[in-house]
Amino acid sequence: MKLLNNTALIIAFFFLCSYNSFGQFDLDFVKHLSKNQFADEHLAYLESSALPVDSMAYFKAKYFIQYEKDSLFFEQCESAQNLLTTDTLFLRYLDNYFLKKKDSNRDQWFSLRNAIIPKDTVGALVYYSLASNPSLTDTTLVPVMLRNDFKNYARAYKKKPIVALLLSTVLPGLGELYIGNLRASIAKFGSQTIFGLQIVESIYFVGLIHPLSFVNIGFFSAFYVANIVGSYRDTKTKKHDLKNQFLFHVSDYYASMYPASIY
Amino acid sequence: MFRIITLLCIQLQFINYCYSQDSLTIQLLALEKDIFYSTSDTVKNSLMVQKMDLMMKNKSDNDLILKNCKRIDDQFIPDSVEKSRFLWNASVIAYLENDLYYALHAIKEYQIVSNDSSITCESLKFFIYSNYDTEKTKIIVSDLIKRDSIFEAYECYSNAQSYEVRQVQLKKALSYILPGSGMVVNGNWTKGLLSMSLNSASALAIYYLISNQLYINSLAWGSNLIMKFYVGNINLTEKLINQKQVYRQKKLAKKCELSINDCLLKYPINYKFPSQGF
């Protein structure tokens, strides 16, 4: 009788344990929650499901990426590694997603991806590696649709900010011309020339010791220094922007060429 | 000893279960599961209405309630009372979320289904229409005033919404002819006089440069100063006219706020829940 009582108690305990969770995990239902963007219900369902650690991490990683919680996604990645490697569609989605993201998250994802599948020689990973040093690559290897962006980026990559700074010091606008900003170069050279002419004219007609000459010299100097600093900064910004533009288009290119999805 | 431990474990599990069942998300999830597994559209929509009610009762975010609301197809709600209740709530929530097109559609449907021409219903219609149809708003307000004079507050609100600053074109034209005068007429004395003096000083400076044969300087400074002060004065005048309009509208609306609150206290616009009835 005592044994029967104990058995009944154990059964009751396990019954309550199992009743607490929502029972069998249904992928279609998860897809439904994901499609309708029921974020709270989605997370509650995952947490109430009796899934193994790696599967739980895998589904949570998918959940966090859908709601763009990148840091939480990375927390789940370690446990979900094995499942991630087998899910090509999701891997592609992640590649496309992180190619458009800010630098730190993009770098974190691709270093992680490299660690998961080190022998992957196709796909976005190649272009990500390419973007870190475009001068080494033959442009004919890049797809035609991306070639123009790549060429622009490769050209900007070669430009050195310090050279732009020195050129702007020698002649205002020359630094901008060096990095390929023709309009900015003409504008800067033109405005600086006008300031110079104003100084010459004011010194000639009213003399050097005159408020007008001081004002003109002051404006000329301020613009001259601003041009130099601007050229240095523009070189860096252009390089960064063209890299992002190239990777953005790589992402679009892959999204249009190969199917990718979270589920 | 074994029995005590097992009983304690069961108790813990039971408490945990009870608490988890209390949480709103778990209840919403359970309803969503029922919706997903249901094969009948009628049952599906009825469950969605239940989910919406639950969210409204628990004061979930309005955007989430509206998202859920927009999934519901009222054609599959057979009970007319239930259907009109849903349409009313949909209209209120859409109005709160500023989805005026949906709010208007829902309130029109609601009136067809329920034949409701009560003061509360007309009051909600007033708030929806007041955002884009002045004529219709005026008709609703005059109808409401006939029924209860307390709704004169709505007329005041409606006037505030349609308030327009006078002599806009004249002020703009003045700012072109005599810089700063447009702002002075608009009531911005300090800014207007400052703009007037800056433009006069610029003109004087250019005159001085020309008279001293400093043509390059006059051209360069002239184009810079004119761009800065003359064009700036025109833009600022337009901006200040718009600011005045918004300010006056808000001031007038604020005046009516207390009286509107009295109207809403007397005829509150609330969600309709199943137990309330009509």
pLDDT tens by residue, A137-160:
677 778 888 888 988 898 999 999
Dist CA A259 CA A256 (whole Å): 7
Where would I find the H helices in chain B? 2-22, 24-37, 41-57, 62-71, 80-96, 100-114, 119-129, 134-147, 152-161, 168-177, 181-186, 189-211, 215-225, 232-266
Where b means 16+ CB within 10 Å and e means fewer, A165-177 reads bbbbeeebbbbbb
Higher pLDDT, B232 or B4: B232
Dist CA A182 CA A77 (whole Å): 46
Cβ pair A198:B28 closer than 8 A: no
Q: Is residue B270 part of a domain?
A: no
Dist CA B169 CA B46 (whole Å): 56
Sorted by sequence, the CB contacts under 8 Å of residue A25 that are 6+ apart come out as A49, A50, A51, A55
Dist CA B132 CA B130 (whole Å): 6
Q: What is the pLDDT of residue A14?
A: 53
User: Is residue B28 scored above 90 in pLDDT?
Assistant: yes
Where are the strands (E) in chain A, listed by range?
none
A21 confidence band (pLDDT: 50, 70, 90): very low
Q: Is residue B178 part of a domain?
A: yes
Domain total in chain B = 1
Q: What 8-state DSSP symbol labels residue B203?
A: H
Where are the strands (E) in A178-248, listed by range?
none
* Minimum Cα–Cα distance from A13: chain B residue: B10
* Minimum Cα–Cα distance from A17: chain B residue: B13
Q: What is the pLDDT of residue A19?
A: 47
Q: What is the pLDDT of residue B277?
A: 46
Q: What does the pLDDT average to over B157-183?
A: 88
Q: Is residue B90 part of a domain?
A: no
Q: Is residue B87 part of a domain?
A: no
Q: What does the pLDDT average to over A97-116?
A: 87
Please state, in angstroms and as integers, the Cα–Cα distance from residue B256 to each residue in B68, B125, B126, B247, following that order: 34, 18, 15, 14
Dist CA B229 CA B236 (whole Å): 10
Chain B CB within 8 Å of residue A193 CB: no
Q: What is the pLDDT of residue B1?
A: 58
Kindly report the length of chain B.
Answer: 278
Chain A CB within 8 Å of residue B6 CB: yes
> In this structure, how many other beta carbons lie within 10 angstroms of the beta carbon of residue A20?
15
Q: What is the pLDDT of residue B6?
A: 60
Contact B161, B253 (CB under 8 A): yes
**Among candidates A9, A40, A198 on the partner chain, residue whose Cβ is nearest the Cβ of B7:** A9
Q: What is the pLDDT of residue B158?
A: 78
B41 confidence band (pLDDT: 50, 70, 90): very high
Sorted by sequence, the CB contacts under 8 Å of residue A2 that are 6+ apart come out as none
User: Is residue B211 scored above 50 in pLDDT?
Assistant: yes
**Among candidates B6, B13, B25 on the partner chain, residue whose Cβ is nearest the Cβ of A17:** B13
Cβ pair B29:A48 closer than 8 A: yes
Contact B123, B269 (CB under 8 A): yes
Q: What is the pLDDT of residue A138?
A: 73
Q: Is residue B195 part of a domain?
A: yes
Locus of tokens 């009531």 = B187
Question: Which residue from B35, B67, B65 is spatially nearest to B48, judged by alpha carbons?
Answer: B35
Q: Any idea what the Cα angle at residue B172 is, between residues B171 and B174, rounded to 5°?
A: 65
Q: Is residue B176 part of a domain?
A: yes
Q: What is the pLDDT of residue B164?
A: 83
Residues A179-213 have pLDDT tens digits of: 999 999 999 999 999 999 999 999 998 899 999 99
User: Is residue A5 scored above 70 in pLDDT?
Assistant: no
Q: What is the pLDDT of residue B137?
A: 87
Q: Considering only CB atoms, which chain A residues are within 8 Å of B213?
A: 205
User: Is residue B42 scored above 80 in pLDDT?
Assistant: yes
Long-range contacts from B162-171, C-beta under 8 angstroms, 24+ separation: B162/B134, B163/B245, B163/B248, B163/B249, B163/B252, B164/B245, B165/B241, B165/B244, B165/B245, B165/B248, B168/B241, B171/B237, B171/B241
Query: How far off is chain A from B65, nearest CA to CA, in Å?
Result: 11
Q: Percentage of chain B surpassing pLDDT 70?
A: 91
Domain of residue B182 covers 168-264
User: Is residue A22 scored above 70 in pLDDT?
Assistant: no
Please name the residues between 32 and 61 in chain B that touch chain A, using a CB distance below 8 Å.
32-33, 36
Cβ pair B33:A5 closer than 8 A: no
Task: Enter the ipTM.
Answer: 0.71
Q: What does the pLDDT average to over A152-169?
A: 93
Q: Is residue B189 part of a domain?
A: yes
Count Cα atoms within 13 angstroms, Cβ side, for A169.
Answer: 8
Query: Which of A160-169, B131-140, B142-151 has the largest mean confidence?
Result: A160-169
Chain A CB within 8 Å of residue B28 CB: yes
Q: Is residue B257 part of a domain?
A: yes
User: In this structure, is the dihedral angle defined by the CA atoms of residues B12, B18, B24 and B27, taken in order, positive or negative?
Assistant: positive
